Structure 1
């Protein structure tokens, strides 16, 4: 059952472009060459990799989606081997795709990427910001090799390496009646209306925290936007709860917020790096993992 890296490269390009035409344009090769490579893979693996839509391009079959993830990983490792073979064993270069949960991405990643670029100037990081489920989907779909996320709703097939513990904070306006407290309890907070971050997974997670304390919040607003949530809280007597605590206490319209730790003892939540279970990280990914481990260890000191 022989196949070539070129055939896999053509297959990946067609899957990402959604058409043979797009793949040919991306790789600067003829459409018949792309079609022939896909046909040869399908014949050798004994499965259909694409559903052909007349005049509407290609869509992956279930077998095609599984092969796409494995093919991209194999091509990444082949690139590692190529670099070693031409004398670049001590250098690291190329593209690394990293997923990140969108609420804390602006709080964490800019500094990480700035320092990483100094240490590894030839590695280009491509970010894929998304909600929790979207970040995991990019991992399983092969769009990202690593993902910076919380240890929440990971599901099967994901390996998680914790980097740091992240406490839960109450977000309230500076002049809120509870702002004078050093810590606030959820029981005190639910006397006021709540602004709920309504991202997939996040919405149910925050509600489950309140429900676990036998509390029923009054939802005043729901929003998928972190900054809208902060603005709504800053301009009302509402509250919200979040792990992502910004350095600035100002909302985008200039109103001041207060962030207070919760009085309750809740399960610690970890921020860390996720990847597909059983997959061997490329040298670029291993460098990023080691760098992040050192970075967050220094921050904790």
Structure 2
């Protein structure tokens, strides 16, 4: 095969968004599961609905599916990235007992159904075709489980994404003039929002403030969809269609527990950390920024635990289970249980840790949004009017 054609195909397909599915099987050949992005319906109008999955021929799950003659396609919800990582083999310390790390139950065929997946389709295998390096399996659906979760986990650009609502129709009623929609990166919200909202509402008690906490990419897309007017997130950022302003320069710190081997240090370098267990805040932008930080310094982090909850990350750090890197000094220096956490300055540059405001262009931005951004600047004590930061994307958490 033309090597360049293959490289461009792989890169092109990495940009195609797909729901994340864990395919499971159980039977005489054993219980297995594997994360796939290739799952699609075949027909809803045959004797039973049918769907197609594709599994690499060297995956242990592939041979098990062929022998067990059954599989369940579990489409993961937006908060199940841990399950995806588990069955993709990224969490190697759990490889021996993956099903012991999650909640599941048996389906009609006996294949495991993963609890809280958006939908689980339990199938009898009808067709298996080897094409190149992958087996194409077509199954007829015997049972369908629908959970209360409705938002699927999405994979695109080699990272997890989440589905976002469609922009409102132009003919819908205009937003009330006293309504303000503002977004915050998920870890900045608890630090900034209560004080900011309290100060702002004292001056403007008539304003109806609607708040959104989300990952960086979600904030950008929600702004483009017209659902928020401005957001505070991490950068550097290059978004040609939005205004970007530096609010606070990066000040990276390493969080460790009081009994951590490096707790006595006054500052740290990445080389001090690379071989020690890390606790990662589980958001796409955080993983991207952390990977960029280590790659620039020709190192790789040893991620031991991941959680989408910053409170959980702080709690695990406080228990001396690993370190975490934050782009700004944390307001809270304790875990949820009150145990002390130390914040030690990191010596390497971390441009992804700058706090930035992104907003609709001035001609599309309300006066309320401008006033609220002014409050944000004052909160960080770093006012820099009308400065753009034309550098590569890569927000951090």
Q: TM-score, normalised by structure 2?
A: 0.51
More helix by share: 1
Residues 1:138 and 2:222 aligned together: yes
Q: Is the 8 A contact 1:151 1:160 kept in 2?
A: no
Residues 1:270 and 2:354 aligned together: yes
Residues 1:75 and 2:174 aligned together: yes
Once the two structures are TM-superposed, the CA of residue 277 in structure 1 deviates from its matched residue by: 3.8
Return closer, same or farther for 1:260/1:217 CA change in 2, 3 Å cut-off: same
Q: Is the 8 A contact 2:184 2:219 kept in 1?
A: yes
Give the alignment of 1:137-156 within 5 angstroms: 137-156=221-240
Query: What SS does the corresponding residue of 2:332 show, helix, strand or coil?
Result: coil
More strand by share: 2
Specify which of 168, 184, 200 is matched with residue 116 of structure 1. Answer: 200
Measured in 2, the distance between the counterparts of 1:153 and 1:198 equals 20
Q: Deviations over 1:46-87 (max 9, x none)?
A: xxxxxxxxxxxxxxxxxxx6784x778x935xx65xxxxxxx
Q: Deviations over 1:185-241 (max 9, x none)?
A: 111011311111120221111121111111122111111111111111221241110
Query: What SS does the corresponding residue of 2:357 show, helix, strand or coil?
Result: strand
Moved over 6 A (4+): none
* Structure 2 runs not aligned, ≥5 long: 1-165, 385-397
Q: Is the 8 A contact 2:234 2:352 kept in 1?
A: no
Query: What SS does the corresponding residue of 1:75 show, helix, strand or coil?
Result: coil
Specify which of 228, 231, 238 is matched with residue 322 of structure 2. Answer: 238
Give the alignment of 1:143-292 within 5 angstroms: 143-267=227-351, 269-277=353-361, 279-292=363-376
Please, which moves more after superposition, 256-265 or 284-293?
284-293
Q: Across the two proteins, how many residue pairs are aligned to each other?
A: 220
Return closer, same or farther for 1:246/1:265 CA change in 2, 3 Å cut-off: closer
Return closer, same or farther for 1:221/1:163 CA change in 2, 3 Å cut-off: same
Measured in 1, the distance between the counterparts of 2:352 and 2:304 equals 27
Query: What SS does the corresponding residue of 2:373 show, helix, strand or coil?
Result: helix
Counterpart for residue 127 of structure 1: 211
Measured in 2, the distance between the counterparts of 1:247 and 1:294 equals 16
Greater relative contact order (Cα < 8 A, sep 6+): 1
Q: Is the 8 A contact 2:274 2:301 kept in 1?
A: yes
Measured in 2, the distance between the counterparts of 1:298 and 1:242 equals 19
CA RMSD of aligned residues (A): 2.7
Once the two structures are TM-superposed, the CA of residue 260 in structure 1 deviates from its matched residue by: 0.7
Once the two structures are TM-superposed, the CA of residue 95 in structure 1 deviates from its matched residue by: 1.0
Return closer, same or farther for 1:283/1:265 CA change in 2, 3 Å cut-off: closer
Once the two structures are TM-superposed, the CA of residue 270 in structure 1 deviates from its matched residue by: 2.5
Query: What SS does the corresponding residue of 1:254 show, helix, strand or coil?
Result: coil
Counterpart for residue 96 of structure 2: none
Query: What SS does the corresponding residue of 2:364 show, helix, strand or coil?
Result: coil
Measured in 1, the distance between the counterparts of 2:383 and 2:340 equals 26
Measured in 2, the distance between the counterparts of 1:162 and 1:103 equals 18
Return closer, same or farther for 1:174/1:199 CA change in 2, 3 Å cut-off: same
* Structure 1 runs not aligned, ≥5 long: 1-64, 81-93
Q: TM-score, normalised by structure 1?
A: 0.66
Measured in 1, the distance between the counterparts of 2:167 and 2:207 equals 27
